[in-house]
Structure 1
Amino acid sequence: MSQNYNGFISLTSLYSFSLFLILSLSLLPIVATIQAEQSFLQEERHVVHALANELQQALYYKKEAFPFVISTTISSEPVTISFTIDGEMIKGCAHWSTIRHEERKECLYGKLYVQ
């Protein structure tokens, strides 16, 4: 007596392929979202890094010219960096438009260096 497994094999193959397809189609948008967020965060890191560099320059070399504004381009996006005195601290703020076309503002503070 021979047994016929053709129906069972094709059913398990269909089940396996369906499972593979569902997992693949679920992971694709997740990976795309993660890559978009990485790009967004990388842009923000570049802007904050430039702001920190400019703040260091302002702390040690520009004693008399507060407030002042610097316009620059970071990652092909225009960025405006402004510095004001806030008590004994220098407040440096960067304003830019993100990849998502949202207006962003990040501020850093530094203690005014007096010689």
Structure 2
Amino acid sequence: MRNSSGFTFAETVAAFSIIMIIAFTLYPALIEIRLEQRELAIKRYAIATLHDQFLLQSESPSSYPHLISDSNDYDITIVFKKENQFIKGCAAWTSIDREKKEVCLNAPQ
């Protein structure tokens, strides 16, 4: 028997198979994480836009309900309503999964 210090073909195939199993197991999770990151980016943008519109509303108040449509990056609809002593602003958009999402903020008049 001769002394061999290299890898055999079977060892190489086994190692490659293990690496591929790990990669194919992690790939769907990475795709899901990317989709969640995009969804979170849309939500952050909606909240920031809603906050900015609240600031603009305080500078120049208008009649309520007031509708604003923002389609710079994402299709977001902002609606302001007067409820009791507060102004309620809601931002609505369609998510990647085609679900209707909404976030609301309240501010004193």
Q: Under a length normalisation based on structure 2, what TM-score does the superposition of the two structures give?
A: 0.82
1:66 is aligned to 2:64? yes
Partners of 1:55 and 1:90 lie apart in 2 by 9
Q: What's the Cα RMSD here?
A: 2.2
SS of residue paired to 2:8:
helix
1:55-110 deviation per Cα after TM superposition (whole angstroms, max 9, x unaligned)? 12113320x52222112214242x22111122221100112212221111110111
Tell me which structure has the larger Cα radius of gyration.
Answer: 1
Return the letter of the residue paired with 1:9: T
Partners of 1:95 and 1:31 lie apart in 2 by 27
Partners of 1:14 and 1:95 lie apart in 2 by 52
Partners of 1:76 and 1:89 lie apart in 2 by 27
**1:53 shift after superposition:** 0.5
Matching residue within 73, 81, 93 for 1:96: 93
Partners of 1:41 and 1:5 lie apart in 2 by 55
Q: Under a length normalisation based on structure 1, what TM-score does the superposition of the two structures give?
A: 0.79
Unaligned runs of 5+ in 1: none
Counterpart contact for 2:67–2:79, Cα < 8 Å: yes
1:80 is aligned to 2:77? yes
Counterpart contact for 1:46–1:74, Cα < 8 Å: no
Partners of 1:10 and 1:55 lie apart in 2 by 67
Partners of 1:10 and 1:104 lie apart in 2 by 54
Partners of 2:77 and 2:16 lie apart in 1 by 53
Unaligned runs of 5+ in 2: none
